[in-house]
């Protein structure tokens, strides 16, 4: 199947290889300030990553030249991006407004957004999960969870 | 040599240690039964919660989950033709046709009995083979230990199959992550960028949860799975004691166990390869191969016995040399490290009660499978398939956050885990193998420390690394592992051309 992308550089493996090369090269800079023996292993690994990524890039471009189409990384990019964003938002909310409030909102929100729409089921699941976490971790194990930077705690 | 094994037995029967195995087996079956979740993911999520537990309680949970999940994968494989774990693919071949004929209950009983037998055989292999191997490795010095680490990484990269360039990139990434933090000898910071939280290096649990738990959660939310529940409501299950006399698969069980144990010991192979090999061998030697694929119970037995026989045996190289045979074994090594137990020969000398107790827990976990997974329980577990995936995904997200936050009580680790999770998702989609990353992190620091120690002993002369027979054997084995697959491929291609 011929390449369906507008540019061969937009193939997932090519983009990944380029990303690794850039990041590994950036990480190489601090190794100059290290003692030679301390820098040995990290420098070898970073140079290895660059060389291997070049090989990966060349192999992928060769496939593109041969007319081999690269599979997309996901068939539902909006769902994947949405899932990632919700997870990151949950972590940020936990950090800034506190664990219990964020968790009580996230469980039904994520389940609702991704297709489980039973209000009673969501309510029961949220109460059971949050209640169990409180009973086991807070009450039973005295585990402190974030109370929220926003509230100055 | 085996006296420590017997001394460790009473500890395993302590109430909390035994209860941990029971809970682990049940949790493992639940996880294995949910398509998209795996033993690797379950153990990754579990590891941070075990910090405050006694080592044998934590290890009992892990052993139980591993055993339970390998059987649990058979439930959706039989009822929906969706393998719950990669190792259950071969179970679908005959399990699903049996379910369509209304024999789903019997198929699951064959699966649970076969899984149990495979698990028992594997636990015995671990008990018999690991102690003598650990005695040999006690003789290793820094240069041999360095080569063992190199050999372990090479094995998992090149024997795992797939693209070796991607395997090498994964390993380099893992080793690089292992050097982040203070230099172990001079104490200067490496790649911490002024973050105090990174001075002690990257905790392996953060990496494990990110790499192994986040991508499956994204998968759960990405693809909604609709089940009609037809086969799960028509299992036709009879009590297991009535079903047992119908299972006359001793040859298949013995052959499958041996295949599974052997595949488990080989680094980089795994349960799915064992199951396929056992299935093919059983079919080849069957008197009526034409019935296979159309609902032959022996096909289910062949696949399940082998994929469970590789569980404990994958820990033989993991516990003695620090080289895990499978991804789950790699994650379990992480679990051992969390409790301050460094895999390798010293583990057997310094913590015999724990390491041998762990082996007993594998054995009891396998036996408990029949009791907990058989008969009525199988029906209950089958109903799990109707749990809504988005709800399950949201609960796992919460558990991941709690687990990682609990390690040091700081949100920095959670953000780091999310970063590794994003990397893990990309790697997973582009088919970069994940076990070399974990092994790189485990062996990287270990290899560096021993390399530097060897160089100091040799006053900077690198030839110290090649000056004894054991080192040279390990170098030769590493070269064989690296060039072996290429030579084999050329040999096969050459024969095809002839």
ipTM: 0.93
Share above pLDDT 70 across residues of chain A, in percent, rounded to a whole number: 96
Select from A20, A37, A72 the residue whose CB has the most chain B CBs within 10 Å, as the one to mutate to test that interface: A37
Minimum-distance CB partner of A35 among B176, B186, B411: B186
Select from B157, B219, B389, B390 the residue whose CB has the most chain A CBs within 10 Å, as the one to mutate to test that interface: B390
pLDDT value for B375? 55
Share above pLDDT 70 across residues of chain B, in percent, rounded to a whole number: 91
B275-319 tens-digit pLDDT: 888 988 888 888 888 888 888 999 999 999 998 898 888 888 888
Residue B187 has a CB neighbour count (10 Å cut-off) of: 9
Task: Report how far residue A137's alpha carbon sits from residue B2's, in angstroms, rounded to the nearest whole number.
Answer: 40
Task: Report how far residue A137's alpha carbon sits from residue B5's, in angstroms, rounded to the nearest whole number.
Answer: 35
pLDDT value for A60? 94
Per-residue confidence at A95, pLDDT binned at 50, 70, 90? very high
Task: Report how far residue B283's alpha carbon sits from residue B306's, in angstroms, rounded to the nearest whole number.
Answer: 14
Residue A138, pLDDT > 90, answer no
pLDDT value for B421? 95
Task: Note the residue count of chain A.
Answer: 153
pLDDT value for B496? 66
A16-75 tens-digit pLDDT: 999 999 999 999 999 998 888 889 899 999 999 999 999 999 999 999 998 888 888 888
How distant, in Å, are the alpha carbons of A81, A102, B392 from that of A110?
Answer: 13, 12, 10
Q: Quick one: average pLDDT of B265-280? A: 76
Per-residue confidence at B332, pLDDT binned at 50, 70, 90? confident
Cβ contact (<8 Å) for B223 and A76?
A: yes
Contacts of B221 in chain A (CB under 8 A): 79, 82-83, 110, 114
pLDDT value for B36? 65
B145-192 tens-digit pLDDT: 888 888 888 877 776 667 889 999 999 999 999 999 988 778 888 998
Task: Report how far residue A10's alpha carbon sits from residue A4's, in angstroms, rounded to the nearest whole number.
Answer: 10
pLDDT value for B166? 93
| Contact residues for B152 (Cβ-Cβ < 8 A; gap 6+) | B267, B317, B321, B322, B323, B439, B443
Q: Quick one: average pLDDT of A116-142? A: 88
Per-residue confidence at B47, pLDDT binned at 50, 70, 90? confident
Residue A93, pLDDT > 60, answer yes
Of B442, B471, B445, which is closest to residue B458 (Cα–Cα)? Answer: B471
Residue B237, pLDDT > 90, answer no
Q: What is the SS3 assignment for A70?
A: coil
Contacts of A13 in chain B (CB under 8 A): 430
* Higher-pLDDT residue of B412, B209: B412
Kindly report the backbone phi and psi dihedral angles of residue B285, in degrees, each rounded to the nearest multiple of 5, phi listed first.
-95, 0
Contact, A90 vs A84, CB < 8 A? no
Task: Report how far residue B219's alpha carbon sits from residue B389's, in angstroms, rounded to the nearest whole number.
Answer: 10
Contact, B212 vs B404, CB < 8 A? no
pLDDT value for B487? 77
Residue A117, pLDDT > 90, answer no
pLDDT value for B231? 56
Residue A120, pLDDT > 90, answer yes
Per-residue confidence at A2, pLDDT binned at 50, 70, 90? low
Q: What is the SS3 assignment for B190?
A: strand
List the alpha helices (DSSP H) in B226-326: 230-233, 240-243, 250-265, 271-284, 297-309, 315-321
B433-486 tens-digit pLDDT: 888 888 888 888 878 888 888 888 888 888 888 888 888 998 998 898 888 777
Residue B20, pLDDT > 80, answer yes
Minimum-distance CB partner of A107 among B176, B188, B394: B394
Residue B138, pLDDT > 80, answer no
Residue B363, pLDDT > 90, answer yes
Contact, B4 vs B55, CB < 8 A? no
Q: Quick one: average pLDDT of B270-275? A: 75
What are the residue ranges spanned by the domains of chain A? 8-65, 77-151
Return residues 47-76 of B near A (CB < 8 Å). 52
The one-character DSSP state at B226 is P
* Radius of gyration, alpha carbons of chain A: 23
* Radius of gyration, alpha carbons of chain B: 22
Q: Quick one: average pLDDT of B57-80? A: 86
* Higher-pLDDT residue of B477, B273: B477
Min CA distance, A67 vs chain B (Å)?
Answer: 19
Residue B226, pLDDT > 70, answer no
Contacts of B215 in chain A (CB under 8 A): none
**What pairs with residue B181 in β-bridges?**
B190
Tell me, yes or no, if B430 comes closer than 8 A to chain A by beta carbon: yes
The mean pLDDT value of chain B amounts to 83
Min CA distance, A73 vs chain B (Å)?
Answer: 6
Share above pLDDT 90 across residues of chain B, in percent, rounded to a whole number: 21
How distant, in Å, are the alpha carbons of A109, B21, B161, B412 from that of B45?
Answer: 22, 17, 27, 18
pLDDT value for A12? 93
């Amino acid at each position: 199947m011929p390449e369906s992308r507008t540019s061969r550089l937009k193939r997932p493996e090519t983009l990944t290889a380029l990303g690794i090369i850039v990041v590994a090269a950036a990480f190489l800079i601090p190794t100059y300030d290290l003692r030679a023996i301390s820098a040995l292993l990290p420098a070898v690994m970073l140079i290895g990553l660059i060389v291997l990524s070049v090989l990966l890039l060349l192999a992928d471009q060769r496939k593109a030249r041969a007319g081999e189409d690269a599979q997309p990384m996901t068939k539902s990019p909006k769902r994947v991006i949405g899932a990632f964003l919700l997870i990151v938002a949950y972590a940020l909310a936990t950090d800034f407004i506190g664990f219990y409030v964020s968790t009580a909102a996230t469980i039904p929100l994520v389940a609702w957004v991704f297709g489980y729409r039973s209000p009673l089921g969501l309510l029961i699941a949220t109460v059971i999960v949050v209640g169990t976490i409180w009973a086991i971790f807070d009450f039973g194990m005295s585990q402190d969870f974030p109370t929220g930077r926003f509230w100055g705690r | 040599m085996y006296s420590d094994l017997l001394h460790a037995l009473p500890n395993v029967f302590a109430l909390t240690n035994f209860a941990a195995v029971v809970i682990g087996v049940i949790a493992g079956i639940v996880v294995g039964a949910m398509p998209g979740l795996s033993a690797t993911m379950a153990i990754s999520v579990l590891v941070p919660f075990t910090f405050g537990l006694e080592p044998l309680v934590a290890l009992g949970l892990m052993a139980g989950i591993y055993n339970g999940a390998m059987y649990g994968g058979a439930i959706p494989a039989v009822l929906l033709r969706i393998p719950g774990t990669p190792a259950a693919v071969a179970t679908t071949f005959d399990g699903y046709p049996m379910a369509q004929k209304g024999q789903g209950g019997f198929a699951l009983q064959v699966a649970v009995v076969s899984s149990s037998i495979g698990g028992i055989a594997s636990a015995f292999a671990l008990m018999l083979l690991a102690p003598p191997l650990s005695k040999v490795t006690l003789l290793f010095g820094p240069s041999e230990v360095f080569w063992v680490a190199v050999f372990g990484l090479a094995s998992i990269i090149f024997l795992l199959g797939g693209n070796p360039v991607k395997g090498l990139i994964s390993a380099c990434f893992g080793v690089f992550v292992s050097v982040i933090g203070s230099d172990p000898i001079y104490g200067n910071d490496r790649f911490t960028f002024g973050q105090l939280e990174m001075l002690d290096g990257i905790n392996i649990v953060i990496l494990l949860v990110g790499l192994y738990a986040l991508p499956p959660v994204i998968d759960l939310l990405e693809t909604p799975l609709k089940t009609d529940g037809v086969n799960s409501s028509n299992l036709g299950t009879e009590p297991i004691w009535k079903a047992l006399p119908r299972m006359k698969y001793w040859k298949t069980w013995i052959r499958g166990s041996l295949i599974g144990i052997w595949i488990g010991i080989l680094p980089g192979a795994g349960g799915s390869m064992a199951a396929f090999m056992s299935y093919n061998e059983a079919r080849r030697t069957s008197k009526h191969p034409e019935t296979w694929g159309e609902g032959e119970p022996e096909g289910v037995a062949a696949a399940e016995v082998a994929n469970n026989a590789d569980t404990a045996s994958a820990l033989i190289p993991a516990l003695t040399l620090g080289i895990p045979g499978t991804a789950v074994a790699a994650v379990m090594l992480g679990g051992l490290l969390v409790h301050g137990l460094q895999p390798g020969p010293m583990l057997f000398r310094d913590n015999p009660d724990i390491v041998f107790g762990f082996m007993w827990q594998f054995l009891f976990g396998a036996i408990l499978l029949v009791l907990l997974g058989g008969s009525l329980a199988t029906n209950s577990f089958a109903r799990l398939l109707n749990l809504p995936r988005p709800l399950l995904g949201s609960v796992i997200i919460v558990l991941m956050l709690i687990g990682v936050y609990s390690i040091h009580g700081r949100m920095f680790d959670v953000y780091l885990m999310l970063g590794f999770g994003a990397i893990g998702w990309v790697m997973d989609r582009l088919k970069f193998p994940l076990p070399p990353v974990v092994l790189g992190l485990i062996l990287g620091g270990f290899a560096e420390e021993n390399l530097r120690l060897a160089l100091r002993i040799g006053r900077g002369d690198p030839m110290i690394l090649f000056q004894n027979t054991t080192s040279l054997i390990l170098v030769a084995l590493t070269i064989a592992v690296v060039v072996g697959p290429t030579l084999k491929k050329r040999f096969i291609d050459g024969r095809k051309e002839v």
